């Protein structure tokens, strides 16, 4: 039996499989520290997802470094690929998720020294792996079966999340441009989802906010110097809308504040940067989802402003044993 015929006879499978992609958009946290819209939508407990993410990024800051240390007059280009794994589960009757992301790729750049000499650097290999844990604290309880998924509506949903990067990525202390950051860093945040209107596939609209704070340890060998960074506050916002049952889009915005860097007691300036972007998602089939997006800073005319733009494409494969078994019983090949 073909997929569309099975969907007509067993509409619960069509709705339930659509929820798998709520965990499908593992993101490039290092690149502008931005997650796409609908990342924190809830799905069935015990669902799994594996993504392949590719980004092309340029600007005046290292895209593998979420502290956004700006090099005035610098110009950097990066190709970043990320592989990961996410698993949902139930914890104290609440929806929870654990994920791991491994960045890899190539990074090159040009900057000028204080004497005016041009300096070229490059790096390739693996960046710092990142672990994430997320748990819902306000909103519907965890979805443990297909009837739970069919009844699910987010209403107002509030989560708590924690990220931790492991400082084991590629690092050369003789240069400032690296994939690994040679220090511990992480994030704490509170993802929020506000349902706007009916929760019907093809008509769903949400406003999503993610206030978060990034906290950084010291890098005591930053080209022979000590690098310290104040906490960086970040606010992400997404207005998402279904265009059809299989296609959705989002308007994205980010604001960064704080994160002043100090190198050997010489303090820099605080971040105060704004970026906007667009995202388009497409459900390829019951197990695969494709997302493309573009994002760029807008208040980036001054030498000390962060300047960055990125294009991201994400292909995700997701599955759940209960749904896969139901599809086999329904004769869906």
Per-residue DSSP letter, 180: S
Q: Quick one: pLDDT at residue 302?
A: 85
What is the domain count for the chain? 1
For residue 320, name the pLDDT band (cuts at 50, 70, 90). confident
1-42 confidence digits (pLDDT tens)? 444 444 444 455 555 555 454 444 444 444 444 677 888 889
**What are the start-end ranges of the H helices in the chain?**
3-9, 11-18, 146-151, 321-330
Q: What is the mean pLDDT of residues 194-216?
A: 95
* Strands of 177-270, DSSP E: 185-189, 192-195, 205-216, 219-222, 225-229, 232-242, 247-258, 261-263, 266-267
Q: Quick one: pLDDT at residue 117?
A: 59
Percent of the chain residues topping a pLDDT of 70 = 85
Taking a C-beta distance cutoff of 8 angstroms, is the pair 18, 7 a contact? no
Count CA atoms within 13 Å of residue 309 on its CB side.
6
Taking a C-beta distance cutoff of 8 angstroms, is the pair 164, 128 a contact? no
State the pTM of this model. Answer: 0.87
Supply the Cα-derived Rg of the chain in whole angstroms. 21
- Let me know how many helices (H) and strands (E) the chain has, helices first: 4, 18
Query: pLDDT: is 325 or 125 the higher one?
Result: 125
- Segments forming the whole domain that contains residue 166: 3-330
Structure tokens at 25: 């958009």
CA-CA distance, 108 to 154, in Å (whole number)? 43
Residues 6+ apart with CB under 8 A from 276: 251, 252, 253, 254, 295, 296, 298
For residue 330, name the pLDDT band (cuts at 50, 70, 90). low
Q: What is the dihedral of CA 56, 47, 189, 309, to 10 degrees?
A: 10
For residue 71, name the pLDDT band (cuts at 50, 70, 90). confident
For residue 232, name the pLDDT band (cuts at 50, 70, 90). very high
User: At 293, which CATH number?
Assistant: 2.40.128.130
Average model confidence (pLDDT) across the chain: 86
Q: What is the mean pLDDT of residues 206-232?
A: 95
Q: What is the mean pLDDT of residues 182-204?
A: 95
Q: Which residues pair with 110 in a beta bridge?
A: 75, 120
Q: What is the dihedral of CA 96, 100, 311, 47, to 10 degrees?
A: -40
For residue 304, name the pLDDT band (cuts at 50, 70, 90). confident
> Is residue 203 predicted with pLDDT exceeding 50?
yes
Q: Quick one: pLDDT at residue 257?
A: 95
Q: Quick one: pLDDT at residue 331?
A: 63
268-284 confidence digits (pLDDT tens)? 889 999 999 999 999 99
Q: Quick one: pLDDT at residue 322?
A: 79
């Amino acid at each position: 039996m073909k997929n569309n015929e099975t969907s007509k006879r067993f509409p619960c499978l069509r709705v339930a499989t659509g929820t798998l992609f709520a965990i499908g958009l593992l993101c490039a946290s290092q690149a502008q520290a931005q997650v796409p819209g609908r990342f924190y939508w809830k799905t069935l407990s015990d669902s799994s997802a594996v993504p392949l993410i590719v980004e092309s990024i340029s600007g005046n800051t290292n895209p593998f470094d979420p502290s956004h240390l700006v090099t005035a007059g610098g110009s950097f280009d990066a190709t970043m690929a990320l592989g990961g794994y996410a698993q949902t589960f139930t914890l104290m009757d609440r929806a929870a998720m654990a994920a791991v992301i491994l960045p890899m790729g190539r990074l090159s750049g040009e900057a000028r020294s204080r004497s005016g000499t041009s300096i070229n650097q490059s790096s390739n290999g693996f960046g710092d792996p990142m672990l994430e844990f997320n748990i819902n604290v306000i909103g519907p309880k965890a979805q443990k079966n297909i009837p739970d998924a069919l009844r699910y509506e987010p209403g107002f949903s509030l989560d708590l999340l924690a990220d931790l990067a492991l400082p084991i990525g590629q690092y050369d202390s003789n240069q400032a441009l690296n994939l690994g950051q040679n220090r511990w860093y992480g994030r704490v945040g509170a993802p929020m989802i506000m349902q706007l209107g009916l929760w019907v596939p093809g008509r769903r609209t949400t406003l999503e906010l993610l206030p978060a704070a990034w906290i950084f340890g010291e890098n005591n060998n930053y080209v022979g110097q000590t690098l310290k960074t104040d906490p960086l506050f970040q606010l992400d916002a997404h207005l998402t809308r279904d265009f059809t049952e299989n296609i959705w889009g989002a308007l994205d915005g980010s604001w960064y504040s704080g994160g002043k860097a100090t190198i050997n007691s010489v303090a820099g300036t605080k971040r105060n940067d704004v970026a906007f972007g667009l995202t388009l998602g497409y459900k390829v089939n019951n197990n695969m989802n494709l997302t493309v997006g573009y994002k760029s800073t807008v208040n980036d005319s001054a030498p000390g402003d962060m300047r960055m733009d990125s294009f991201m494409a994400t292909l995700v494969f997701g599955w759940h044993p209960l749904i896969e078994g139901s599809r086999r019983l329904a004769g869906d090949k």
